[in-house]
């Protein structure tokens, strides 16, 4: 427990330290006036919270503290509380229901965000939980994407359904679901090729994949997870918006939070879309997937604890 | 979701239009909007500040009040300044004594392997060079396999995979192979790494010391947020960069990271990745990326639109004046000056409400610039009172003006006649509306 939290904080630490220094430099017990609020707003923007969400947090601080003497600590506490309040309703987790035989998890996202790796990590966890797991190599496009997922399958000791390179990914998913049903699998995770949301034909391809697997199980996919890279800036809004139109998203996974990137965009996304965050990625190893905890995340982000 | 700079500045322009002139407060107001737009485009805050200061400095140096359309200038200044900062030598060092060594570095999943193959293919085809690629990524599952498959697609050679070999050893072997087998260019793909991972940063620094690359390219995602500054700064400090590759430019991200990284490293952006396929790579184009960051695809179009709007208002003011019969020679001089400034008759046509369509008619009137200059000179040689009231111009005054402006009395008479005509037609325009002018033909206004 301490291990991962420490790790998250080391990663977030850099972010947090900078954020803290920024805020501390601005506020050392002085009267909270407009110029000061403007600068605080910039500090939040710098954490990728975006202009709208930063404005909202600043408004709140203004309401509560305007014209009062405030310290850096108080400001950070206030921001953390406000961020946690926004994040708390979206803090969630992936809970595959084995009675579905299989519970189908579809994993989507832009290129390189960490889909395949996240599936590898999930496979590990589910396997450790005693579930019967199967993976489908739905990325039939990218060079060696199949081999990459196969390597993860091998590590976790779970079967990977794969087709020929360039094969139809919807067909492959259908085939995998058929096999999973036949073999009494508890959870099936389907990897997909990275795709930029502004490419309509690629989004339609996802919609088609969903239509096709619903022929076998009208309730599938039971989870549709969008994987976001923590380094992403405001474009994350477009990603969530467009992906959620193409298929019924049930959750987000934010990866690479072990880096220097600020997880701030998550606050903005929670604020704007209210889509659950089901896990965070804090490294490249199998056990580097963590639950998302709103308060811990918010406090870490603001350099508290 | 986010307002582009176009919208934001549109609002500022509205304000400017009402005021008629650009004050320093206006510059500040406009730059405040620019600031927010840049932040929404993911330009890092410190970079935004430096940028705004740079623009302000230029704006203050310019005589903004003399500009026909002050708002136009702000957009132009912002855009031009951005292009200037983003620009740089995008040349790749392929021409050195072979083998030219390229080292590709970056965060996880940024597009290093794909870009390595794209560059290999491009250099092999365009420059007809013998290209070798090697993967030093011993960590990510199937990373080496990926580069090998891509090399095959790109029809370039790849250093064979030896199981269990360390990155530094692979680099040494690839260098050896490149020298022995006479390759012109060697591209070294590396594993994705975080800049706070000291061990992996030291590893890539060791590769650099061994391979002494001619190009060390940071491959970074166009969707990157504020962190771009940290990443670029750290890679530049710890590994030393010669340039930047921006990937996923085929997405819809505003790409402010480009400005952040360019500014903080001082290293040029050399290549754009515009798709997943190997031929989807482009040379860096500063003005294209600038337009994106500012959220306006077509700056020129915007500027033209802005010009149209603002001039129209001036023309409307003028029309109102004329309607009341208040059009004097000062107004005429003003018009002539503008005609000259805007580079011809197209300009003055645009200033008259709704007459753009009969531009062609005017073109037939054959008015040259010298004539306009001469007419200006004549008006300038008049006293302020004469300019207010043309009826004062008797024979002796005309002789004085002719001498003062280096023209002849017939020239003066022609000008007065033209002024009377203009005055009359303008008055009619007020009465008849645009249709009246259309019927009459504007060519008469400028007849010699
Ligand atoms: N540091 C860190 N790296 C990660 C994390 N998750 C994934 N990665 C790395 O990010 C890179 C991309 O991950 P992939 O899983 O291949 O991403 P993807 O979304 O499947 O990529 P495409 O299929 O090409 O679109 C790899 O180098 C991973 O090891 C994380 O949480 N932390
Ligand atoms: N749309 C688009 N996708 C790209 C571009 N460049 C790379 N990609 C995709 O981004 C994903 C990751 O690319 P890679 O080349 O594997 O990235 P990498 O930096 O080598 O990743 P790691 O080795 O895991 O750190 C793949 O799905 C590529 O197809 C680009 O310019 N546009
Ligand atoms: Mg993948
Ligand atoms: Mg790679």
- Do residues A113 and A86 share a domain? no
Q: Ligand 1 in contact with B108 (CB < 6 A)?
A: yes
User: What average pLDDT score do residues A117-122 get?
Assistant: 98
Domain B3-86: which topology? 1.20.120
Cβ separation B150–A258 shorter than 8 A: no
Say whether B141 and A151 touch across the interface (CB within 8 A).
yes
Query: A144 C-alpha to center of ligand 3: Å?
Result: 9
Asked if residue B139 has its Cβ within 6 Å of ligand 1, the reply is no
Whether residue A76 sits in one domain with residue A108:
no
Ligand 2 atom showing the smallest separation from residue B108 Cα: 25
Same domain, A260 and A149: yes
Residue B349: both structure tokens together: 């046509």
Residues of A within 8 A of B149 (CB-CB) are 143-144
How high is the mean pLDDT of chain A?
Answer: 88
Closest CA to B28 of B12, B7, B10: B12
Please give the Cα distance from A58 to A41 (Å, whole number).
6
Q: How far apart are CA B259 and CA B255, in angstroms?
A: 8
Residue A33 lies in a domain: yes
pLDDT of residue B36: 84
DSSP A232: B
Q: Check residues A65 and A81 and name the one with the higher pLDDT.
A: A81
Nearest atom of ligand 1 to the alpha carbon of A120:
15
The predicted structure's pLDDT at residue A19: 52
Domain at A229, CATH number:
3.40.50.300
CATH of B303-446, one of 1.10.260.30, 3.40.50.300, 1.10.150.130, 3.90.1580.10: 1.10.260.30
- Tokens in use for A281? 């990625």
Inter-residue contact A166 to A112 (CB < 8 Å) = no
Residues of chain B with C-beta less than 8 angstroms from the C-beta of A46 = 44-45, 226
Please state the domain extents for chain B. Answer: 3-86, 100-296, 303-446
Give the side-chain half-sphere CA count within 13 A for B90.
Answer: 13
Residues A107 and A84 placed together within one structural domain of the fold: no
Q: Which domain holds residue A155?
A: 103-292
Distance CA A146, CA A161 (A): 9
Q: State which of A90, A111, A144 marks the end of a domain.
A: A90
* H/E element, B336: helix B329-341
Whole-number pLDDT of residue A84: 94
Residue B74 burial (CB count, 10 A):
27
Residue B140 beta carbon below 6 angstroms from any ligand 1 atom: yes
The tens digit of pLDDT for each residue in B115-138 reads 999 999 999 999 999 999 999 999
Mean pLDDT of the residues in chain B:
80
- Does residue A193 contact residue A140 with C-beta atoms inside 8 Å? yes
To test the pocket of ligand 1, the residue of A106, A117, A151 to mutate (highest count of ligand atoms within 8 Å of its CB) is A117
Query: Residue B290 C-alpha to ligand 2 middle, in angstroms?
Result: 23
> C-alpha B109: how far from its chain's center?
30
DSSP string, B127-191: S---EEEEE---SSTTHHHHHHHHHHHHT-EEPPP-TT--HHHHHHHHHHHHHHTT-SEEEEE--
Query: What pLDDT score was predicted for residue B7?
Result: 55
Domain boundary among A90, A115, A136: A90
**pLDDT at residue A28 in the model:** 56
User: Could you tell me if A54 and A79 lie in one domain?
Assistant: yes
If you average pLDDT over each of A22-26, B39-43, B64-68, B144-148, which comes out highest?
B144-148
Instruction: Tell me, yes or no, whether A74 and A118 share the same domain.
Output: no
Checking if the pLDDT of A282 tops 50, the result is yes
> Which of these ranges, A64-78, A96-110, A211-225, has the smallest mean pLDDT?
A64-78
Class of domain B100-296: alpha beta
For residue B164, give every residue at least 6 positions away whose Cβ sits within 8 Å of its Cβ, in sequence order, or none: none
For chain A, percent of residues with pLDDT exceeding 70: 90
CA distances to A274, B59, B348, B379, B381 from B375, rounded to whole Å, are: 69, 33, 15, 6, 10
**How does pLDDT run across B372-415, given as a tens digit for each residue?**
778 888 998 999 899 888 889 999 999 999 998 888 999 899 88
Q: Which of A158-167, B172-181, B204-213 has the lowest mean pLDDT?
A: A158-167
Q: Please, which residues have CB within 8 angstroms of residue B147's CB and are 6 or more apart in sequence?
A: B113, B116, B117, B133, B134, B135, B137, B158, B189
Structure tokens at B260: 């952040």
Looking at the complex, report in whole angstroms how far the Cα of residue A137 sits from the nearest Cα belonging to chain B: 14
Domain boundary residue, one of A90, A124, A144: A90
Q: What is the gyration radius of the CA atoms in chain A, in angstroms? A: 21
Contacts of A45 in chain B (CB under 8 A): 39, 45, 226
Kindly give the distance from the C-alpha atom of residue A105 to the centroid of ligand 2, in angstroms, as a whole number: 23
Number of domains in chain A: 2
Residues A218 and A264 in one domain: yes
Interface touch B223/A235, C-beta < 8 Å: yes
Average pLDDT rounded to a whole number, residues B349-355 = 34
The structure's pTM equals 0.78
Give which of A164, A174, A157 is closest to A208, Cα–Cα.
Answer: A174
pLDDT, position B396: 92
Band (pLDDT 50/70/90 cuts) for residue A169 is very high
Report the relative pairing of strands B100-105 and B269-273 from DSSP bridges.
unpaired
CA–CA min distance B228, chain A (Å)? 8
Tokens 């293919």, residue?
B121
Nearest to B344 by CA among B312, B314, B367: B367
């Amino acid at each position: 427990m301490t291990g991962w939290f420490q790790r998250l904080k080391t990663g977030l630490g850099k972010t947090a330290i900078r954020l803290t220094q920024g805020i501390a430099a601005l506020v050392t017990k002085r009267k909270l006036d407009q110029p000061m609020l403007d600068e605080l707003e910039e500090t939040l923007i710098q954490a990728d919270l975006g202009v709208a969400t930063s404005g909202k947090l600043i408004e709140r601080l203004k309401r509560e503290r305007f014209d009062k003497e405030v310290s850096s600590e108080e400001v950070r506490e206030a921001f953390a509380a406000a961020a946690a309040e926004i994040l708390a309703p979206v803090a969630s987790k992936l809970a595959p229901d084995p009675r579905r035989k299989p519970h189908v998890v579809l994993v989507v996202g832009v290129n390189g965000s960490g889909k395949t790796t996240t599936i590898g990590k999930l496979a590990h966890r589910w396997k450790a939980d005693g579930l019967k797991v199967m993976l489908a190599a739905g990325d039939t496009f990218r060079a060696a994407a199949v081999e990459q997922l196969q390597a993860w399958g091998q590590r976790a000791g779970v079967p990977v359904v794969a087709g020929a390179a360039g094969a139809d990914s919807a067909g492959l998913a259908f085939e995998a679901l058929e096999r999973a049903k036949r073999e009494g699998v508890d959870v099936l995770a389907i990897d997909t090729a990275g795709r930029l949301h502004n490419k309509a034909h690629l989004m339609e391809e996802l919609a088609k994949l969903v239509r096709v697997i619903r022929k076998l199980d009208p309730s599938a996919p039971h989870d549709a997870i969008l994987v976001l890279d923590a380094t992403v800036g405001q474009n994350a809004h477009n990603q969530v918006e467009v992906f959620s139109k193409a298929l019924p998203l049930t959750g987000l996974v934010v990866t690479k939070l072990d880096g220097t990137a600020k997880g701030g965009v998550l606050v903005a996304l929670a604020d704007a879309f209210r889509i659950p965050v089901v896990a965070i990625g804090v490294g490249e190893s199998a056990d580097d997937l963590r639950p998302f905890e709103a308060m811990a995340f918010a406090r870490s982000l603001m350099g508290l604890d | 979701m986010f307002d582009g700079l176009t919208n934001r500045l549109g609002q500022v322009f509205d304000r400017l239009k009402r005021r008629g002139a650009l004050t320093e407060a206006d510059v500040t107001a406009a730059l405040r909007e620019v600031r927010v737009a840049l932040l929404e485009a993911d330009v890092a805050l410190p970079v935004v500040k430096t940028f705004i200061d740079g623009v302000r400095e230029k704006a203050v140096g310019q005589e903004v009040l003399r500009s026909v359309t002050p708002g136009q200038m702000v957009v132009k200044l912002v855009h031009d300044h951005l292009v200037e900062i983003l620009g740089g030598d995008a040349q790749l060092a392929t021409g050195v004594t072979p083998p030219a060594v390229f080292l590709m570095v970056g965060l996880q999943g940024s597009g290093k392997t794909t870009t390595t193959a794209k560059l290999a293919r491009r250099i092999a085809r365009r420059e007809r060079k013998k290209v070798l690629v090697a993967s030093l990524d011993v960590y990510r599952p199937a990373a080496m396999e990926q580069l090998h498959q891509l090399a095959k697609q790109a029809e370039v050679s790849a250093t064979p995979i030896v199981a269990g070999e360390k990155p530094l050893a692979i680099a040494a072997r690839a260098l050896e192979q490149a020298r022995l087998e006479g390759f012109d260019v060697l591209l070294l793909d590396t594993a994705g790494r975080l800049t706070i991972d000291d061990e992996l940063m030291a590893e890539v620094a060791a590769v650099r010391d061994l391979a002494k690359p001619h190009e060390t390219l940071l491959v970074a995602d166009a969707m990157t947020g504020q962190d771009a500054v940290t990443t670029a700064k750290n890679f530049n400090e710890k590994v030393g960069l010669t340039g930047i590759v921006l990937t996923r430019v085929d997405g819809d991200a505003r790409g402010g990271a480009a400005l952040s990284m360019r500014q903080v490293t001082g290293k040029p952006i050399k290549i754009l990745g515009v798709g997943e396929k190997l031929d989807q790579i482009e040379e860096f184009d500063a003005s294209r990326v600038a337009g994106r960051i500012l959220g306006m695809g077509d700056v020129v179009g915007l500027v033209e639109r802005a010009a149209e709007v603002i001039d129209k208002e001036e023309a409307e003011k003028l029309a109102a004046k004329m309607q009341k019969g208040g059009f004097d020679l000062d107004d005429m001089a003003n018009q002539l000056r503008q005609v000259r400034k805007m580079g011809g008759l197209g300009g003055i046509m645009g200033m008259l409400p709704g007459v753009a369509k009969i531009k062609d008619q005017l073109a037939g009137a054959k008015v040259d610039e010298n004539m306009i200059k001469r007419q200006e000179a004549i008006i300038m040689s008049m006293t302020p009172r004469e300019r207010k009231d043309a009826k004062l111009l008797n024979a002796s005054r005309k002789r004085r003006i002719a001498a003062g402006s280096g023209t002849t009395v017939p020239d003066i008479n022609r000008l007065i006649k033209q002024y009377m005509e203009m005055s009359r037609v303008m008055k009619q325009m007020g009465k008849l509306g645009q249709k009246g002018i259309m019927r009459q033909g504007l060519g008469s206004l400028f007849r010699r």
